Amino acid sequence: MQNSRRKFLLGSGAVVAAASISGYKETLGAVATLSDKGEKAKDSIYFNSSVAEHSFLNNKFVKNEDYKILPTTCIGCTTQCGVRVKIDKKTDKVVRVLGNPYNLLSTNPWLPYNTSIEDSYKTLSQNGDFETYRSNVCARGNAIFDKIDAPNRVLKPLKRVGKRGENKWKEMDIDELINEIVNGGDLFGEGVVKGLKDTRDIKTPINPDEPSFGPKSNGLCVIGTTHEGRTAALIHRFLMSFGTVNFTGHTSICGLSMRAGEAAYLGDFKKYPHLKPDFEHTKYLLSIGTPPGQAGNPFKRQGKLLANARTEGNIEYTIVSPMQGNSDTIAVGGKSSWIPIIPGTDLAFVMGLLQIIINNKMYNEKYLCIPSSKAMKAQNDASWTNASHLIIQDKEDNGTILKDGNIPLVLDSTDNKLKSSEEVLQAVLDFNGDVKFAGKSYKVRTAFNELKERTNELGLVAYSKECGVSVEKMQEVAKKFTSFGRCATVDCHGGTMHTTGFYTTYAVMMLGAMIGNLNYKGGMSSGGGAYKDVNGSQYNLLAYKGKVKVHGARMDRTRRAYESTNEYKNKVEKGENPYPAKDTWYPFTNALESEFITNSYKKYPYKMDALISFNSNFIYGTAGGEGEIKELIKDPKLAVPLFIAIDPFINESSVYADYIIPDSVLYETWGVVHAWAAFQTKINTLRFPVVKPRQESFKNGDPIEMTSFIIALGKKLNLPGFGKNAIKGNDGKMHDFDKAEDFYLRAFENIAMDGKPVPDASDEEIKLASLDSFVPSLKRICGDNWRKTAYVMARGGRYEDYEDSYEGELISHKYNKPIQIYNEKLGTSKNSLSGEAYSGTPKFFKQRFATGETYEKHFPKEKFPLIAFSYKSNVLSSPNTSSANLKEIRYTTYVDINPKTAHILGLRHGDYVKVNSGDGETTGYLRYRHGVHPDTLGVEQGDGRRAEGAIDIEINGKVTKGLVSKKTGVYYNKLGLKDFTRKSAVATDFACGSVARQVIPVNITKIS
């Protein structure tokens, strides 16, 4: 073992020396000479560390007046932890980032909210309770602040002067830019471009043949980023004022299969709730493709909770993944285990577990027999399911649940009679037969019976053959999972981003229903929620006079059934088979950014007039985007006539924009952020400018960024909701909306006043929290509540106390809707191409294209012997490529492969290789990694860039050279597959449409 490890480390060193030593040369030299970029360090022990931001002299707190410390939010990844930022007052530069001890994403347990700011520093000193309340940031969080002053940052508005993608620009005045995009014209010498004022027609149908698709104003589309705190203003204040339905975030390229599958399980396709384990108290965790601490948001918190649970707690956990991640370690002995699995076969594995549990009656029968909320309360349980509800099997109303009005009917287990679910405590669980209701006979089956049949469509041996996990191992895991009562949990995330990921997630979550773990301490939680912010006691910032009730078909054809279109109805009237539709429709999906460009090109449902992207990189982020989306966006005549990007950097997508609006970075901007998951208490984390924004400003002094831009653009378009008297307080008073702070300080005030208002901040606290510069605006905007608002700002948000997490053995903030053993909306929907009915319960499917044709027919193993997958980096993230500091930590990425597999293929550690999927290819250095399934290869996501500092940029005739270091690593998404059963489309989850970046059949060859 030791010899093998030594050889591996030596081999790794050889690769670094051969392939990427140049990236670490300065770092290694600095270590050897105690220097920093050629200059000798100030101290042989502390190197060039800055002076402490505060100290304790004779047990008295003393603040270092050379620095200011402000709380805010880290946007290094989608976790968005609360942090404290140390800023040099003389240079206004970030020196260091610390954890915020009030914020549960950085600390566990976290400080009581009423702890004074001074006492928070005392607590974290060596004389305080440091070990209990230690608050930290990850490597990424304490590195990326150099993005603020990155040399390739966009600081002034830009307009392209060459063709799209040539990366040639000129700076221009922001008012002139807004005038051009509003009024249109021959802006580039390529023909007339329609301006936004002509697109904003909220009455004329955008598609005369389909009036229900909405007005021409739907021709404006916006592709946004993650929910980083400013999305509500963008959607409600601008897009709904403009009159368009077309906004999408980044879900389809991130974790949509997981979110949609959990929405099916939880019965809510509108809000898309999702669950996470209560890591602190669970006794067994089964994690599918998502090693905590490496993947699965919130990354840092999950890692911290798992580390504590496995050392001080009693957790046991199993990681099922094609790669052994950071979570499985020999340091904790038998508490952790790893089951290697072929990517995309997780569904077979989980369906096997469900079959074992159901057929051997290892489930919690009493729990599954609870038919209603009323029965749940009567039996003192914490959640319930529709397992006993009856699904109609007759041709008429097939797939619907038998109801009396809106109340489901069930069979009472005491007398087998059909009754209202509200009148029954325990219902019959497993039934398939006939019942009579209101004088009519119905063929029905219970939701549980439907699930039972689906799990038994294949035998255990067949499931085992599909996933490569033995029957014995599946039996072992099933027994283990059902041995801890309500305190066993499941988790999944990015590993489900493949063509059957939706049903994989649904099946994974269904394991929890078998034991009834929802809302239990040590079970599954939907999160603690948040205090009211944009719509609260003082203001409803989302409401204003003249707000348009947007309607119509979305560009991505989500949230709507094909059967509602005239296309379908006309075919039926003519007696034709209505299937296939011209393309896919997704009735239970919320949004798909990957479909906007391609659908506009197909003019189905219509063609867009203009695209605004907001910190989005949909080309780099979409598997296959290089081949499909890039070619369509390069030519303005094909899909996107006008493209405006709001972006602090020129990335792989915004490089094709017509105009670029500079945006704030990290600690320069406003916002209100909610935690993702894995928390039991309310949390709102704030963003406000703690350093002066580096970019150019509007004439009113507001820096040019997303919010200030939409305010100026809204005013130019004369949209309601902007300017004078645009904000109405709940007291009836009117207020102007001219600056970003007009919106966000009022949202902060709502937070402060929600429920029991917070105390007032003292002058001492305001000074200690370095909020002095905000006081004039706080007084102007928040009036009598300004000190309460400052109290929240001083703590970086508002957080419910740790002690409020639980009520005895239950989680305090419970999910109240029933678990859907059978999802009626899903079970009554059809695939718009094949006409195939979706299964309303988990069901096994092989990897497939949209019409149902399987991968195995098109990717023979002899030609594509390996399956490629990507895995989450604990350092890199694609939005942070402009951070030079990150390259000091992780210079490059590799093609990771099992040494035995490499030997069979004639490949060696350090070979430069090409990986080919048939639809795309990428290159990189090969790295031996023993913890990789032999039939696969893995790539760490987030490197191998083709923009954002990696290529030359010309602005006003001056060229800034691209850096080779930005290009290093493997560009994984170039491998993405096309869906040959559709026109101009990448491979997606056949049910919900998320991009299938996992499970890519490939071959690999050495580049000589």
CB contact burial 188-202 (16+ within 10 A = b; e otherwise): beeeebbbbeebbbb
Runs of H (alpha helix) within 45-127: 117-123
Range of the domain at 645: 158-253+538-662
Q: Averaged over 199-222, what is the pLDDT?
A: 97
Q: Which residues have CB under 8 Å from 546's CB, separation 6+? A: 241, 719, 720, 721
* 361: Cα separation from own chain's centroid: 36
Q: Quick one: 348 and 216 in the same domain?
A: no
Q: Quick one: 275 and 192 in the same domain?
A: no
Predicted confidence (pLDDT) at residue 622 exceeds the cutoff of 50:
yes
Predicted confidence (pLDDT) at residue 425 exceeds the cutoff of 90:
yes
* 24: Cα separation from own chain's centroid: 32
Q: Averaged over 514-522, what is the pLDDT?
A: 98
Cβ–Cβ < 8 Å for 791, 113: no
* Span 923-963, pLDDT tens digits: 999 999 999 999 999 999 989 889 988 899 999 999 999 98
DSSP 187-199: SSSSS-EE-HHHH
Q: Quick one: 657 and 570 in the same domain?
A: yes
Q: How far apart are the first and last CA of the chain?
A: 33
| Mean pLDDT score of the chain | 93
In a domain, 178, yes or no: yes
Lowest-confidence pick of 382-396, 407-421, 427-441, 955-969: 955-969
Predicted pLDDT at 59: 78
Provide the domain count of the chain: 3
- Report the distance separating Cα 840 and Cα 507, nearest Å: 11
Q: Quick one: 585 and 622 in the same domain?
A: yes
Predicted pLDDT at 12: 40
My answer on whether omega of the bond before 291 falls inside 30° of 0, hence cis, is no
- Strands 316-321 vs 336-340: parallel, antiparallel or unpaired: parallel
Q: Which residues have CB under 8 Å from 984's CB, separation 6+? A: 598, 601, 602, 628, 632
Q: Averaged over 607-616, what is the pLDDT?
A: 97
Cβ–Cβ < 8 Å for 74, 29: no
Predicted confidence (pLDDT) at residue 841 exceeds the cutoff of 80:
yes
Cα–Cα distance list, 926 to 542, 550, 897, 917 (Å): 51, 51, 7, 17
Of residues 367 and 36, which shows the higher confidence score? 367
Predicted confidence (pLDDT) at residue 544 exceeds the cutoff of 70:
yes
- Report the distance separating Cα 581 and Cα 829, nearest Å: 14
Neighbouring C-alpha atoms within 13 Å toward the C-beta of 847: 26
How is residue 557 written in tokens? 């054809």
Q: Quick one: 521 and 542 in the same domain?
A: no
Q: Quick one: 479 and 543 in the same domain?
A: no
- Report the distance separating Cα 470 and Cα 464, nearest Å: 6
Predicted pLDDT at 627: 85
The CATH number linked to 596 is 3.40.50.740
Report DSSP state, residue 976.
Answer: P
- Report the distance separating Cα 567 and Cα 583, nearest Å: 11
Predicted pLDDT at 8: 39
Fill in the amino acid letter for 126: Q
Cα torsion for 543, 546, 552, 554, to the nearest 10°? -60
Predicted confidence (pLDDT) at residue 590 exceeds the cutoff of 70:
yes
Lowest-confidence pick of 432-446, 808-822, 940-954: 940-954
Q: Quick one: 581 and 492 in the same domain?
A: no
In a domain, 110, yes or no: no
Predicted confidence (pLDDT) at residue 76 exceeds the cutoff of 90:
no
CB contact burial 452-489 (16+ within 10 A = b; e otherwise): bebbeebebeebbebbbbeeebbeebbeebbebebbbb
Q: Quick one: 237 and 274 in the same domain?
A: no
Q: How confident is the model at residue 302 (pLDDT cuts 50, 70, 90)?
A: confident
Predicted pLDDT at 367: 98
* Span 52-61, pLDDT tens digits: 888 888 778 8
- Report the distance separating Cα 605 and Cα 599, nearest Å: 7
Cβ–Cβ < 8 Å for 652, 617: yes
Q: Quick one: 555 and 601 in the same domain?
A: yes
DSSP 494-514: GGG-STTHHHHHHHHHHHHHH
Q: How confident is the model at residue 7 (pLDDT cuts 50, 70, 90)?
A: very low
- Report the distance separating Cα 142 and Cα 145, nearest Å: 7
Q: Is 310 exposed, middle or buried (0-12, 13-18, 19+ CB in 10 A)?
A: buried
Predicted pLDDT at 280: 92
Predicted confidence (pLDDT) at residue 250 exceeds the cutoff of 90:
no
* Span 153-182, pLDDT tens digits: 999 999 999 999 999 999 999 999 999 999
* Span 787-804, pLDDT tens digits: 999 999 999 999 999 999
Fill in the amino acid letter for 91: T
Q: Is 938 exposed, middle or buried (0-12, 13-18, 19+ CB in 10 A)?
A: buried
Q: Is 724 exposed, middle or buried (0-12, 13-18, 19+ CB in 10 A)?
A: exposed
- Report the distance separating Cα 81 and Cα 75, nearest Å: 8
Cβ–Cβ < 8 Å for 137, 131: no
How many Cβ atoms from other residues are within 10 Å of residue 577's Cβ?
8
Domain termination site, one of 504, 525, 546: 525
Cβ–Cβ < 8 Å for 225, 250: yes
Q: How confident is the model at residue 34 (pLDDT cuts 50, 70, 90)?
A: low
The CATH number linked to 347 is 3.40.228.10
Q: Averaged over 670-680, what is the pLDDT?
A: 90
Q: Averaged over 868-881, what is the pLDDT?
A: 85
- Report the distance separating Cα 828 and Cα 28, nearest Å: 62
Of residues 10 and 472, which shows the higher confidence score? 472
DSSP 428-488: --S-EEEEEETTEEEEEEEHHHHHHHHHTSS-HHHHHHHH---HHHHHHHHHHHTTSTT-E
Runs of H (alpha helix) within 138-204: 174-183, 196-199
Predicted confidence (pLDDT) at residue 395 exceeds the cutoff of 90:
yes
Radius of gyration of the chain (CA): 28
Predicted confidence (pLDDT) at residue 876 exceeds the cutoff of 90:
no
Q: Which residues have CB under 8 Å from 862's CB, separation 6+? A: none
In a domain, 854, yes or no: no
Strand partners, 932: 323
Q: Is 648 helix (H, G, I), strand (E, B) or coil?
A: coil
Cα torsion for 117, 120, 121, 123, to the nearest 10°? 160
The count of residues in the chain is 1008
Q: Quick one: 353 and 484 in the same domain?
A: yes
Helices (H) and strands (E) in the chain, counts: 31, 43
Q: Quick one: 564 and 638 in the same domain?
A: yes
Sign of dihedral through CA atoms 617, 620, 623, 626?
Answer: positive
In a domain, 392, yes or no: no
In a domain, 488, yes or no: yes
- Report the distance separating Cα 257 and Cα 195, nearest Å: 36
Q: How confident is the model at residue 36 (pLDDT cuts 50, 70, 90)?
A: low
Edge to edge, the sheet with strand 403-404 lists 403-404, 407-411, 418-420
How is residue 56 written in tokens? 């304790």
- Report the distance separating Cα 437 and Cα 428, nearest Å: 17
Of residues 582 and 333, which shows the higher confidence score? 582
Predicted confidence (pLDDT) at residue 478 exceeds the cutoff of 80:
yes
How many Cβ atoms from other residues are within 10 Å of residue 529's Cβ?
17
Predicted pLDDT at 13: 41
Q: Quick one: 236 and 286 in the same domain?
A: no
Cα torsion for 633, 634, 639, 644, to the nearest 10°? 70
Planar angle of CA 540, 545, 550, nearest 5 degrees = 90
In a domain, 20, yes or no: yes
Neighbouring C-alpha atoms within 13 Å toward the C-beta of 576: 10
How is residue 151 written in tokens? 């040399």
Edge to edge, the sheet with strand 683-687 lists 671-674, 683-687, 797-799
Cα–Cα distance list, 888 to 95, 261, 883 (Å): 17, 38, 9
How many Cβ atoms from other residues are within 10 Å of residue 530's Cβ?
21
How is residue 250 written in tokens? 């980044």
Q: How confident is the model at residue 1 (pLDDT cuts 50, 70, 90)?
A: very low
In a domain, 710, yes or no: no
In a domain, 871, yes or no: no
Predicted pLDDT at 83: 95
